[in-house]
């Protein structure tokens, strides 16, 4: 990094919100908004749409710059006019995904509302597990998903949490939802390929009974005991978080 201080700006970034890109149609005199230089041959939206489809159908691992290029009828390097690198393309696929499920009717009571939003958040991603693997790489980039944060924070404030506490409550709920989905997905995958390493209970030998008596006892029933209703867990967490409110006066 001795002399590499000049950063290349991505020349034609893609608008993550899928709005019309100005793209050579501007004022009638043809100057304002007109792109300079060689006209585009590729459709930026098509690039992202293709990427999204590949991920959706075959998983994140199936996504490659070469594959997208092939499918949009171009060469790998042409894509780099539109995205800085593969990571950026991945993030762009997130936009608009939060509208997959219609925004639900929410209860009026702040506590119940908070739980309902968290459950919705969970259900949304449960339906599109690929989103999980992309989300690790950065923050939420889908503006249409922000209403959920807004709602949860608003509810927390309504129940007497401070501003910081309310933001923390949102994060805590999100972190749980995320973690839960990751492990649910891992379990589903393990179930899909049997003979693969089994759940940890198989590791327990007779010698462990002394050190891990409770686990040893529960091991045979672990699979069923493990299953929970996310809503119940979210309810418990929300109640725990709300119990930190300073008493209303």
Partner DNA sequence: ACCTGAACACCGTTCAAGT
Interacting residues toward DNA by CB under 7 A: 11-12, 35-42, 63-67, 74-78, 80-82, 85-87
Based on the shown chain and the rule CB under 8 A, indicate whether residue 99 belongs to the binding site for a copy of itself.
Answer: no
CA-CA distance, 81 to 155, in Å (whole number)?
43
Interactions with a copy of itself, residue window 129-148 (CB under 8 A): 136-141, 143, 146-147
Look at residue 138 and give the partner it binds from a copy of itself, DNA, none, a contact being a CB closer than 5 to 8 Å depending on partner kind: a copy of itself
Which residue's CB is nearer to DNA, number 26 or number 162?
26
The residue written with tokens 């989103």 in the block is 131
Look at residue 174 and give the partner it binds from a copy of itself, DNA, none, a contact being a CB closer than 5 to 8 Å depending on partner kind: a copy of itself
Which residue's CB is nearer to a copy of itself, number 74 or number 184?
184
Look at residue 126 and give the partner it binds from DNA, a copy of itself, none, a contact being a CB closer than 5 to 8 Å depending on partner kind: none
Tokens of 42: 């590729």
Q: Using CB under 8 A, list all residues that contact a copy of itself.
A: 7, 88, 91, 136-141, 143, 146-147, 149-150, 153-154, 157, 163-164, 167-168, 171-172, 174-180, 182-183, 186, 190, 195, 197, 199-200, 203-204, 208, 211-215, 218, 221-222, 225-226, 228, 232-233, 236-241, 243-244
């Amino acid at each position: 990094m001795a002399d590499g201080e000049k950063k290349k700006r991505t020349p034609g970034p893609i608008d993550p919100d899928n709005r019309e890109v100005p793209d050579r149609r501007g004022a009638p005199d043809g100057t304002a908004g007109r792109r300079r230089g060689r006209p585009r041959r590729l459709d930026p939206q098509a690039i992202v749409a293709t990427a999204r489809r590949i991920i959706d159908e075959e998983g994140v691992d199936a996504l490659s710059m070469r594959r997208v290029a092939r499918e949009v009828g171009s060469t790998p390097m042409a894509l780099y006019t539109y995205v800085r690198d593969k990571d950026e393309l991945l993030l762009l696929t997130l936009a608009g995904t939060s509208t997959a499920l219609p925004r639900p009717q929410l209860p009026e009571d702040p506590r119940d509302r908070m739980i309902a939003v968290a459950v919705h958040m969970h259900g949304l991603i449960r339906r599109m597990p690929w989103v999980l693997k992309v989300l690790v790489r950065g923050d939420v980039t889908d503006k249409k998903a922000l209403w959920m944060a807004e709602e949860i924070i608003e509810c927390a404030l309504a129940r007497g949490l401070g501003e910081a506490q309310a933001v923390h409550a949102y994060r805590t709920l999100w972190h749980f939802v995320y973690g839960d989905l990751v492990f649910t997905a891992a379990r589903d995958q393990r179930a899909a390929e049997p003979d693969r390493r089994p759940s940890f209970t198989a590791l327990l030998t007779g010698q462990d009974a002394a050190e891990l008596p409770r686990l040893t006892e529960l091991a045979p029933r672990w699979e069923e005991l493990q299953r929970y209703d996310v809503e119940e867990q979210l309810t418990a967490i929300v109640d725990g978080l709300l119990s930190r409110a300073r008493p209303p006066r």
